[in-house]
Amino acid sequence: MENLIGVLVGAPLLGALILLVGGRALDRLGHWLGIVFATTSFAVGCVLFADMVGKDAEERALHDHLFSWVPVEGFQADVAFQLDQLSMTFVLLITGVGTLIHFYSVGYMEHDERRRRFFGYLNLFLAAMLVLVLADNYLLLYVGWEGVGLASYLLIGFWQHKPSAATAAKKAFLVNRVGDVGLSIAIMLMFTTFGTFAFSEVLPDAGSASEGQLTAIGLMLLLAACGKSAQVPLQSWLGDAMEGPTPVSALIHAATMVTAGVYLITRSGEIFNGAPAAQTAVVTVGAVTLVFGAIVGCAKDDIKKALAGSTMSQIGYMIMAAGLGPIGYVFAIMHLVTHGFFKAGLFLGAGSVMHGMNDEVDMRKYGGLRKYMPITFVTFGLGYLAIIGFPGLSGFFSKDKIIEAAFAKGGTEGWILGSVALLGAAITAFYMTRVMLLTFFGEKRWAGAPDPQTTPDVEPADGHPAVGAAPHPHESPLSMTVPMILLAFGSVFAGLLFTVNDTFLNWLEPVTHHEHGDSPISAGVVTGCTVTAMVVGVTIAWLMYGRSPVPAVAPRGSLLTRAARRDLLQDDFNHVAFVQTGSYLTRGLVYLDHKVVDGMANGTAAFIGGVSSRMRRLQNGYARSYAVSMFGGTAVLVAATLLMRAVA
Amino acid sequence: MNPVNYLYLSALLFTIGAAGVLVRRNAIIVFMCVELMLNACNLAFVTFSRIHGNLDGQIIAFFTMVVAAAEVVVGLAIILMIFRVRHSASVDDANLMKL
């Protein structure tokens, strides 16, 4: 069984290699090859899962040592995989959702001549993400971490002919890099503290380090998590990352890559348990991002950016739950999995809407689409109900548990976190209802088609409508709708499945060591509050966007709305705080370099040059003047000798 | 006679020679002045030898004469060649080796 872990990672890696090296010869069947490799990985994951379920809880972890990477005395870096319940959960999510999105991409990228390359990148992403969650030490995790960053860069910038996409890719890469620095420092600190970076040695041994050391490591890990999971203050890349093709947004920026930070914090639980200050930082980051993302999501008219704000906010929930310690880890991962289903479904739904609407992303130019795209409407609607926490659907169970755990943190902190989480739930309901109403309900607002009967329903000859032509909404092909339907099933039933008999809790318990927190208010009251918050959010959204007509051009809006449209000034802040400061600094350094460093070198040269051009005049070529200096010199020497003798 | 007087004479001859080297332009005269300085030194050596009562100074004077003879051979040859090429024996005319 251990050897299968290598296949799990190797299949998509081989796929990426073949697709990217194979060249144009593979253009025609490249996407099917990509799907085969992704599906292989998923199938192997299922086999391993079945095997794992059959064993006792304590014996489930598998370990596969491939080779020694850097075998040096005192520094042992191995390429070794570890498959325990936590990794297994991620493996199934990554390969499962990943495979569905591979299928979806076949239809979505149909008209793109670089489709083969796209599938190569998708496979590369799967491989990197699997390395990240399967690594048995932090150094190999770092390899996967960087691989994920690379794949996301390539995929965001996939339409590199668009300057905005190229810029977004660079931005994502740079912001991620800031977080990566945090992870590398954390690994170095770990090495100096524990002398190793293997999970099996660092984590059980965490108690032996001082609290200060653990806090330092924890804060650096948090910085890393902020970068990859788009948390405040490194959140600015996620919105722009929507420049990538929609399947990429669904796979990377909703279901898998952004969850890497949550994985990192949960995996390093023992370190955070010993560092309360770092835990406080984690919950603060989570709570701030939760509200931040939600507010941004409320103001965006671009459907994908609204969903991106929502992703940020939901990951905020997970990070907050992970920061709560042993009472929250399980629920962080549970929300992560349910979120993986419904957010991937929502993004694929958004992609389907865009596919039918000539790649229009402005929700104010949608409206009334439910008649034209029934399957998209139903699957998107189920994802919507799941994310707002409609009772019975998956988001309800996982989010409710997090809010309960937040209250159970105890003290003032618990009340603050719980209230913030409830507020977040209300805002989530508001913005998701807004997306739903703007897209599928109300009057039709797209160009020149209020009455579908008079619009000529003719496909252009090449099957791909010209950009700028009046859209004629249609349902997407089967390859796109089937993954959406499957994900909708996940959005509906995952939560119930996980919660009945505490299945998910018992499954993860051996890895994350759950503690039941005592909430100051009963679970029933929390659930009541959550549902109330949801109803309030939905009602307000309905009053604003359902009952009254929506203007096709966005109104000016309040100060907060305008700030939220600009992502709550995150880019402006970064521009003032880092870009401008940095450019002033570099300009100052350039000035210093020119004036002081170059000045010294040039000054010395000029001095020597000046002196020697004056000295040159002594070399006048007249033998008699040389004789004078010779006599003069001799006279001086003789005089000096005599003087010295007289003094001595 | 007081031997110190020879030293005064030697210094006088040396000064005349040095002044000649510095002020005269004709290479032959300059050369003769150099010889004068050399012989002023010889006189000083011999005088000191006499004053101190040993022969070291006189031996050195012989060496100086030998060196001076060799120098005259080489020096006159150079001056002759310069005169042939440049039709002048002025030391100021031979000033090509300057920047």
Q: Do A624 and B23 touch (CB under 8 A)?
A: yes
Please list the residues that pair with B26 across neighbouring strands.
B90
The confidence score (pLDDT) of residue A458 equals 42
pLDDT tens digit sequence for A279-296: 999 999 999 999 999 999
How close B49 gets to chain A, by Cα (Å)?
21
Judged against a pLDDT cut of 60, whether residue A529 lies above it is answered with yes
The confidence score (pLDDT) of residue B97 equals 64
Judged against a pLDDT cut of 50, whether residue A466 lies above it is answered with no
pLDDT tens digit sequence for A587-617: 999 999 999 999 999 999 999 999 999 988 8
Lowest mean pLDDT among A182-196, A428-442, A567-581: A567-581
Q: Do B91 and A622 touch (CB under 8 A)?
A: yes
Residues of B in contact with A621 (CB under 8 A): 95-98
pLDDT grade, residue A132 (50/70/90)?
A: very high
What percentage of chain A reaches a pLDDT higher than 90?
56
CATH code: domain B3-87 is 1.10.287.3510
The predicted model scores a pTM of 0.79
Judged against a pLDDT cut of 50, whether residue A265 lies above it is answered with yes
φ/ψ of A157, rounded to 5, equals -90, 25
φ/ψ of A209, rounded to 5, equals -85, 160
Does an H or E element contain A76, and which? strand A75-83
* Cα R_g (chain A), whole angstroms: 31
pLDDT tens digit sequence for A88-116: 999 999 999 999 999 999 888 888 888 89
Lowest mean pLDDT among A210-214, A331-335, A496-500: A496-500
The confidence score (pLDDT) of residue A510 equals 85
Looking at the complex, does the CB of residue B94 fall below 8 Å from at least one CB of chain A? yes
The confidence score (pLDDT) of residue A448 equals 59
Q: Which of residues 611-630 of A touch B (CB under 8 A)?
A: 616, 619-624, 627-628
Do A249 and A241 form a contact (C-beta atoms < 8 A)?
A: yes
pLDDT grade, residue A449 (50/70/90)?
A: low
Please list the residues that pair with A71 across neighbouring strands.
A76
What is the distance between the alpha carbons of residues A521 and A514, in angstroms, rounded to a whole number? Answer: 20
The confidence score (pLDDT) of residue A320 equals 94
The confidence score (pLDDT) of residue A558 equals 83
Q: Do B18 and A628 touch (CB under 8 A)?
A: no
How close B16 gets to chain A, by Cα (Å)?
13
Predicted ipTM beyond 0.85: no
Provide the 3-class DSSP secondary structure of residue A135: strand
Q: Do B91 and A624 touch (CB under 8 A)?
A: yes
pLDDT grade, residue A455 (50/70/90)?
A: very low
Do A363 and A553 form a contact (C-beta atoms < 8 A)?
A: no
The confidence score (pLDDT) of residue A463 equals 44
What percentage of chain A reaches a pLDDT higher than 70?
96
Residues of B in contact with A624 (CB under 8 A): 21-23, 25, 91-92
What is the distance between the alpha carbons of residues B25 and B27, in angstroms, rounded to a whole number? Answer: 6
Residues of A in contact with B18 (CB under 8 A): 631
How close B95 gets to chain A, by Cα (Å)?
4
Mean pLDDT of chain A: 88
The confidence score (pLDDT) of residue A462 equals 44
How close B31 gets to chain A, by Cα (Å)?
12
* E runs forming strands in A185-279: none
Provide the 3-class DSSP secondary structure of residue A640: helix
* Average pLDDT rounded to a whole number, residues A634-648: 93
The confidence score (pLDDT) of residue A461 equals 41
What is the distance between the alpha carbons of residues A523 and A333, in angstroms, rounded to a whole number? Answer: 20
Q: List the single residue in A with minimal CA-CA distance to B21.
A: A624
The confidence score (pLDDT) of residue A451 equals 46
What is the distance between the alpha carbons of residues B36 and B33, in angstroms, rounded to a whole number? Answer: 5
Judged against a pLDDT cut of 90, whether residue A456 lies above it is answered with no
Do A98 and A42 form a contact (C-beta atoms < 8 A)?
A: yes
Query: How is chain B split into domains, by residue range?
Result: 3-87
Q: pLDDT per position in chain B (99 positions), as tens?
A: 788 999 999 999 999 999 999 999 899 999 999 999 999 999 999 999 999 999 999 999 999 999 999 999 999 999 999 899 888 888 887 777 665
Looking at the complex, does the CB of residue B76 fall below 8 Å from at least one CB of chain A? no
* Average pLDDT rounded to a whole number, residues A482-504: 88
The confidence score (pLDDT) of residue A604 equals 95
